[in-house]
Structure 1
Amino acid sequence: MTRQIFHRAIPIASFTCWLLAGAWLAPAVAETADSAAGRAAVAAVEERFANLGDSLQVTVLDTRHDLEQCAQPDAFLRNTAISRSGRLYVGVHCQGEREQTLYLQVQLRVQGSYLVAGRDIAAGTLISADMLEPREGDLTPLLGEAVLHPEDAVGRVARRNLTAGSVLRSRNLETFMLVARGQPVFFDVVGSGFRITGKGEALEAGNPGETIRIRTESRKTLSGVVSNRGTVQVAL
């Protein structure tokens, strides 16, 4: 059986009027990047994150048609948190007769260098410069996590095993402490004409020159300064 399909013809004149009516009813959408508000938003992001990498690319995603009416735009970043996708919001205060504040979503792309493990690094290892290698690429998904400069890693300790080539992340490193919390320590109590040496437990972590609290074997709590040898000097 043959199935017949019927099409209703629309007169050209009527169709033209319909198109014109639709075009008249559709709101005009301005290109945000070409507006003064868009340019102000881009400039604010570029200034705030100028030192984030080797190069920045900022794209305004909003296409609000009222941005052209934003007079004397003043852009600001109230929250500088960037999502893993590189998106954030920029506030733009419009002055003049139509005073208002708009929030524009922008896309940030950052290209630059970061550090990776040059070899397998075991947990608890003190990081040295020869363990690190630089890499170039898209930093956007690594913002706030990747270690960008050797001085931010050298002298710290790996909190977990790191495989060769893996991105060095701040959360996987911890500050080296000569004395760790809970560690058995020796202490010296120095007074006028006497000196007492004893053994206790560190109640806080510390490096040479820092003051920490310890608990003696007799359960007394003392405060003292960590020495270069890891002992605690208590002055009375």
Structure 2
Amino acid sequence: MKGSLPLHALFVRRCQSLGVLCCLFLSSVAGAQADLLQERVRALVEQRLPADSRLSDLIVGQPAARIRACAEPRPYLVHPRRLAVGRVAVGVRCADQEEVLGFLQVMVGAQGSYVVSARKIEAGEIIQADMLVSKRGPLQELPKGSALRADQVIGRQAARSIERGAVLALKAVRERWLVERNRPVVLRAQGTGFSLTREGKALDNGGLGNTVRVVSADGRMLSAQVIGQNELLLRY
């Protein structure tokens, strides 16, 4: 009908005439939606915590009006590969819509396990299980990129010196070098119908499968693949 108000406008006008009771109703609806959003954000975060961790605190920032108006919020992690502790960015869609309604800043606290050094580890040492100790505490207080499990670092090589009791950072270890710069290596050359073995000297550090430069015994510079401890393969 010409001149008629939209349904939501009529509802608001009716609420204005009813006064307090309507305000209480609207407030309860908004509260229920906020609770649902909080519940779904909590479920989302808990799914991404390490298996032996537990959520200790969750603070969801004030949602924008578009998010508050959604009856079926679908939150998702903006950075799904990151550990969901500390300051976490969460996007929100409504029901099955693709459009993003907005983003939430969420503070997540969690108790869980992490790895520290049992003794001083020198640069270049290969990390062994007896060099490590598992501790438990607030994960949100750890430096980014900390090792939470021993198997993340065992068998790798310390890239720098690590003090006793220090939290192991994943960037503090690297792939184990099977070939080291300026060290002698065995160079195996293979091709159709032939196989040769000769000595050489590596010009680069390299782990299993890496391609490194090598100088052969006759002075030629070549590129070969690391296949074992001080062993390189040159394919023709």
Question: TM-score w.r.t. structure 2 length?
Answer: 0.69
Which residue type is aligned with residue 54 of structure 1?
S
CA deviations on 1:18-51 (whole Å, 9 max, x unpaired) are xxxxxx9xxx89659843333333322222x133
Aligned to 1:169: 169
Which residue type is aligned with residue 135 of structure 2?
R
- Cα distance in 2 for residues equivalent to 1:106 and 1:100: 17
1:116 shift after superposition: 0.8
Distance verdict in 2 for CA 1:232–1:164, change over 3 Å: same
Write the mapping of 1:203-214 to structure 2, written as runs, cut at 5 A: 203=204, 205-207=206-208, 212-214=212-214
Q: Secondary structure at the match of 1:35?
A: helix
Write the mapping of 1:133-152 to structure 2, written as runs, cut at 5 A: 133-142=133-142, 144-152=144-152
Aligned residues: 205
Which residue type is aligned with residue 39 of structure 1?
E
Q: Secondary structure at the match of 2:72?
A: strand
Aligned to 1:219: 220
Write the mapping of 1:184-199 to structure 2, written as runs, cut at 5 A: 184-189=184-189, 192=193, 195=196, 197-199=198-200
Aligned to 1:127: 127
Q: CA RMSD in A?
A: 3.6
1:167 shift after superposition: 0.9
- Cα distance in 2 for residues equivalent to 1:123 and 1:100: 47
1:143 shift after superposition: 6.1
Q: Secondary structure at the match of 2:106?
A: strand
1:146 shift after superposition: 1.6
Question: TM-score w.r.t. structure 1 length?
Answer: 0.69
Rg (Cα) greater in structure? 1
CA deviations on 1:69-113 (whole Å, 9 max, x unpaired) are 2122122223247699811221122359xx870212111112111
Aligned to 1:50: 49
- Answer yes or no: is the 8 Å Cα contact 1:41–1:75 preserved in 2: yes
* Structure 2 residue runs without a partner (length 5+): 1-22
CA deviations on 1:177-211 (whole Å, 9 max, x unpaired) are 1113554423244675774523233446133x666
Aligned to 2:37: 37
Aligned to 1:21: none
Q: Secondary structure at the match of 1:45?
A: helix
Farther-moved stretch of structure 1 (164-173 vs 144-153): 144-153
Calculate percent identity across the aligned residue pairs.
Answer: 28
